[in-house]
């Protein structure tokens, strides 16, 4: 067994209610580490052969909750949720913050593999090695806050009863879905702690399709032993000290960017990306702090950054709306992207989105898309069930969000996500509305535009990513650089919060891995073998796609058409992505990662990486 | 010692987090309740000291404590109570290092410390009401 791992995984079949412990070979753990890497491997081994036929929202799909060897040691633990994505039809490694990953490892497991589909709503309760599938009838239909409240109380009560002299039980860590997940909305999230969400990938819908409302876990054991504890402790200090210096994020979280990115780098979605610039000082961070903050620090266990803040609307129409202060993505997508420019309205929508269990980015994207269609007269008030979807009308957007979460009326259509609803509306209206869909391979683009060239994503970041529009996994060269997807695969596979890894010396994360596991992994080896393997597997499954969508790199390895319109205003007015440059960069990228001119991984690279079976499987689409 | 998440800070209502540690009541009901004299009071700090060898893990101190603050080691063999780190509280040290400056050392005053020994439910209720106002009722 490799150090740093709990050494076993929990496999739960919801159809048969069988629960068992499984182990993975050391070689597999060595090669794929954990989280996103391991998810890719497990999914390929178990579902790869019939990938195109597997319905992501059916009982055959597998839902994974995986930690990595660094979870709980690297400050800021996370859990990686994965499976066949109902958005991209490929694999997305979607991570969420909170204590879940750490609790799970303290309970003795590196991950949970969920198969099958429950007959009626259930939740899973894990207390160390005691695992129960429990009835969830009483929480089905409940919003995020109520779900957390009821399950926290219930689990603490059970624990108190079973262990009467333990003392007070700390609350368990809970992952749950809201109404959106229950109603199998493709933009539903797997959430934690009211406001944390694994959004990209749409795994809330997968969880809902399995009728799994939540997983609560309580682990009392220590974390798995590491190879060199002294060294791990020193490295924790390095990471912490670095985070303490990062004043901006400690003080404001990414929320500092609401105005900064909008006005200065000009890369914030405004009215469905019709613009990327605004000079709305009401979206300055001080405005949020003065008007809605009720607590400055709210953090996940053991995190030195504490990026969360508690926000609450104090008076006016939306009084009482509470959530984690919208981070930059939530500010952008549930603010300017909907034409909303006051912190109160922004917090109100963000709180609602959290309560419904929707993804703020992707629901903000699809609502912005619908609003643009309304602006253009393509969708009428009648189409929208009487909602006048005017830019800036928070109540109209709130009404629409509720319709989406419950799949009511127009919401049923928009619940399919931006790409799929664009196809449907296009057919309905006999018009090309895909040109207004700002997404890549079924996944909405994160709130960082590429036209001004001043934000971090580059011109192929989204077009060539194996996770589509995911702004936390962007493609770029050099392969061992900060903007490379291969490095992001490491964060998602070690499974820790990448916020705490910004600005640490280049090799600290690998030193961390080595001190934890006792193995030797260098940056070079990671980039040229292990991460590249994960990338090829993700690419292969993305290209197999199915059953409803398939991607052709020639068509779909592209930016949304909107990114080729010139920016209409601001300091970078007139700037746009250049199609010729995109094509050139794409060619270089394909070459660097070993893909042929059609974007399909070449035999040579696959053989070199020991992926002969992937090579054979890819024959059918070459 | 490897890291464990079972530190005693609670956030049963998200956003509302607080530590749940011994307040050093002047009448020390936990000490009185212990049937085997496993608990004693440190001269210098007034902290409750657990003799893990003597402790029979009966849990009586938990029930005697108005805040149900002592808790059992997960191995179920002895009780854990904050011992103020023999006068050098490490929690305060890291809190200062991280510049949160939430915790600080104070000398023992003439207050009724027993008032601070409260259950997580009670503390959550008060804090949540303070933060969220009447809305808090929905989350408790
Ligand atoms: S930086 Fe924020 S999201 Fe990351 S672990 Fe810390 S509190 Fe959680
Ligand atoms: S649990 Fe231990 S310290 Fe507490 S009362 Fe019993 S014997 Fe004494
Ligand atoms: S707070 Fe509890 S543990 Fe501390 S002295 Fe009082 S009764 Fe004992
Ligand atoms: S003083 Fe020491 S024992 Fe008490 S809470 Fe702080 S670190 Fe823990």
pLDDT tens string A530-563: 999 999 999 999 999 999 999 999 999 999 999 9
Residue A496 DSSP label: B
Model-level pTM?
A: 0.97
Residue B137 DSSP label: G
Q: Which atom of ligand 2 is nearest to the CA of A165?
A: 1
The reply to whether A217 and A264 lie within a common domain is no
Residue A457 located in a structural domain: no
Domains of chain B (ranges, CATH numbers)? 13-138 (3.30.70.20)
Contact B135 A165 (CB under 8 A): no
Instruction: Enter the ipTM.
Output: 0.95
pLDDT at B6: 61
pLDDT at B2: 41
The tally of domains found in chain A comes to 3
Note which residues in 16-35 of chain B have CB less than 8 A from chain A.
17, 20
pLDDT at A1: 84
The reply to whether A211 and A275 lie within a common domain is no
The reply to whether A156 and A203 lie within a common domain is yes
Burial class from Cβ neighbours inside 10 Å (0-12, 13-18, 19+) for residue A32 reads buried
pLDDT at B110: 81
Per-residue confidence band for B1, with pLDDT thresholds at 50, 70 and 90: very low
Candidates A300, A326, A492: which one to mutate for ligand 1, based on the most atoms within 8 Å of Cβ? A300
Residue B9 has pLDDT above 90, yes or no: no
Ligand 2 within 6 A of CB of B72: no
Q: How far is CA A276 from the centre of its chain?
A: 23
CB atoms within 10 A of CB A58: 14
Show residues of chain A in contact with B137, CB under 8 Å: none
| Domain-terminating residue out of A495, A529, A546 | A546
CA dist A20 and B32 (Å) reads: 46
The reply to whether A171 and A49 lie within a common domain is yes
Contact A164 B15 (CB under 8 A): no
* Short-list A300, A279, A399, A397, CA closest to A346: A397
Contact B71 A167 (CB under 8 A): yes
The reply to whether A143 and A281 lie within a common domain is no
> Integer distance in angstroms from the first to the last C-alpha of chain A?
39
Q: What ranges in A163-302 are assigned the alpha helix state H?
A: 179-182, 203-209, 229-245, 247-252, 257-259, 285-292
CB atoms within 10 A of CB A460: 27
pLDDT tens string A87-98: 999 999 999 999
CB-based contact (8 Å) between B6 and chain A?
Answer: yes
CB-based contact (8 Å) between B78 and chain A?
Answer: no
Q: Which domain holds residue A180?
A: 1-227+481-546
Pick from A165, A244, A310: CB nearest B59: A165
What angle in degrees, to the nearest 10, is found between the helix axes of A360-375 and A394-405? Answer: 120
Contact B131 A152 (CB under 8 A): no
Residue A46 to chain B, least CA–CA distance (Å): 33
Phi and psi of A451, rounded to 5°? -70, -45
The reply to whether A100 and A212 lie within a common domain is yes
* Mean pLDDT in order along chain A per 10 residues (622 residues): 96 98 98 98 98 98 98 97 98 97 97 98 97 98 98 96 92 97 98 97 98 97 95 97 89 90 95 97 94 94 93 96 96 98 98 98 98 98 98 98 98 98 98 97 98 96 98 96 93 96 92 98 96 98 97 96 98 96 97 97 98 97 91
CATH number for the domain spanning A349: value is 1.10.569.10
Q: Which atom of ligand 3 is nearest to the CA of B65?
A: 7
Residue B5 has pLDDT above 80, yes or no: no
Place of tokens 């929480």: A139
Q: Can you read off the two tokens belonging to residue A181?
A: 């997940």
Helix or strand holding residue B120 (H, E): helix B120-132
The reply to whether A222 and A365 lie within a common domain is no
Spacing, Cα B34 to ligand 2 middle (Å): 5
Ligand 2 within 6 A of CB of B64: no
The reply to whether A536 and A615 lie within a common domain is no
pLDDT at B4: 54
Q: What ranges in A64-213 are assigned the alpha helix state H?
A: 100-106, 144-162, 179-182, 203-209
Contact B15 A295 (CB under 8 A): yes
The reply to whether A31 and A62 lie within a common domain is yes
| Domain-terminating residue out of A423, A444, A465 | A444
């Amino acid at each position: 067994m490799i150090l740093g791992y709990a050494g076993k995984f929990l496999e739960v079949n919801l159809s048969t209610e069988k629960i068992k412990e499984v182990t993975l070979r050391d070689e597999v753990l060595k090669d794929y580490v954990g989280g996103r890497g391991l998810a890719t491997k497990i999914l390929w081994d178990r579902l790869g052969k019939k990938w195109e036929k597997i319905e992501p929202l059916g009982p055959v799909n597998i839902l994974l909750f995986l930690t990595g060897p660094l979870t709980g040691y690297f400050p800021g633990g996370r859990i990686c949720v994965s499976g066949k994505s109902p958005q991209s039809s490929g694999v997305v490694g979607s991570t969420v913050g909170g204590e879940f990953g750490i609790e799970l490892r303290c309970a003795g497991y590196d991950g949970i593999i969920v198969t099958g589909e429950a007959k009626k709503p259930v939740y899973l309760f894990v207390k160390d090695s005691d695992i129960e599938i429990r009835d969830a009838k009483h929480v089905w239909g409940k919003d995020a806050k109520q779900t957390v409240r009821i399950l926290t109380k219930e689990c603490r009560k059970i624990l108190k009863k079973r262990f009467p002299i333990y003392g007070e039980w700390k609350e368990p860590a809970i992952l749950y879905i809201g109404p959106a997940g229950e109603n199998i909305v493709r933009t539903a999230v797997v959430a934690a702690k009211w406001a944390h969400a694994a959004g990209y990938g749409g795994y809330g819908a997968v969880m809902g399709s399995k009728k799994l409302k939540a997983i609560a876990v309580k682990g009392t054991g220590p974390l798995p032993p590491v190879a060199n504890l002294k060294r791990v402790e020193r490295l924790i200090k390095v990471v912490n000290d670095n985070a303490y210096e990062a004043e901006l994020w400690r003080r404001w979280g990414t929320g500092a960017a609401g105005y900064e990115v909008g006005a200065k780098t000009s890369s914030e979605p405004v009215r469905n990306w019709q613009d990327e610039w605004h000079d709305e000082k009401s979206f300055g961070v001080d405005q949020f702090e003065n008007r809605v903050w009720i607590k400055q620090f709210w953090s996940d266990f053991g995190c030195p950054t504490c990026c969360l803040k508690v926000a609450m609307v104090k008076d006016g129409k939306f009084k009482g709306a509470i959530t984690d202060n919208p981070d930059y993505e939530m500010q952008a997508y549930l603010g300017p992207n909907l034409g909303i420019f006051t912190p109160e309205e922004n917090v109100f929508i963000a709180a609602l989105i959290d309560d419904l269990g929707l993804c703020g980015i992707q629901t903000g994207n699809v609502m912005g898309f619908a609003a643009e269609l309304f602006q253009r007269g393509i969708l009428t008030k009648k189409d929208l069930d009487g909602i006048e979807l005017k830019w800036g009308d928070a109540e109209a957007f709130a009404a629409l969000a509720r319709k989406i979460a419950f799949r009511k009326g127009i919401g049923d259509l928009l619940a399919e996500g931006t790409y799929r609803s664009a196809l449907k509306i296009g057919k309905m209206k006999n018009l090309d509305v895909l040109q207004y869909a700002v997404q890549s391979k079924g996944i909405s683009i994160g709130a960082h535009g590429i036209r001004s060239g001043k934000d971090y994503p580059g011109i192929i970041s989204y077009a060539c990513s194996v996770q589509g529009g995911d702004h936390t996994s962007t493609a770029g060269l050099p392969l061992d650089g900060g903007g490379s997807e291969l490095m992001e695969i490491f964060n998602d596979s070690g499974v820790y919060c990448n916020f705490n890894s910004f600005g640490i010396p280049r090799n600290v994360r690998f030193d961390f891995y080595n001190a934890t596991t006792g193995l030797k992994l260098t940056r070079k080896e990671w980039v040229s073998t292990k991460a590249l393997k994960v990338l090829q597997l993700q690419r292969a499954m993305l290209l197999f796609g199915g059953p409803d969508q398939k991607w052709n790199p020639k068509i779909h390895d592209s930016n949304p058409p909107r990114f080729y319109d010139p920016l209409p205003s601001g300091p970078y007015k007139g700037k746009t992505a250049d199609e010729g440059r995109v094509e050139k960069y794409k060619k270089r990228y394909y070459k660097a990662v070993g893909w042929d001119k059609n974007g399909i991984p070449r035999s040579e690279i696959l053989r070199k990486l020991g992926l002969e079976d992937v090579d054979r499987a890819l024959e059918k689409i070459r | 010692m490897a890291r464990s998440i079972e530190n005693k800070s609670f956030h049963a209502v998200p956003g509302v987090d607080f530590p749940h540690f011994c307040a050093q009541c002047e009448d020390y009901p936990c000490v009185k309740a212990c049937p085997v004299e496993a608990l004693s009071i440190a001269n210098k700090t007034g902290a409750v000291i657990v003799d893990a060898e003597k402790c029979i893990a009966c849990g009586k101190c938990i029930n005697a404590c108005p805040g149900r603050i002592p808790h059992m080691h997960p191995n179920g063999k002895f009780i854990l109570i904050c011992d103020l780190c023999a006068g050098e509280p490490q929690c305060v040290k890291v809190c200062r290092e991280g510049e949160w400056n939430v915790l600080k050392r104070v000398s023992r005053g003439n207050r009724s410390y027993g008032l601070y020994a409260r259950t997580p439910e009670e503390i959550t209720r008060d804090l949540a009401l303070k933060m969220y106002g009447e809305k808090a009722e929905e989350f408790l």
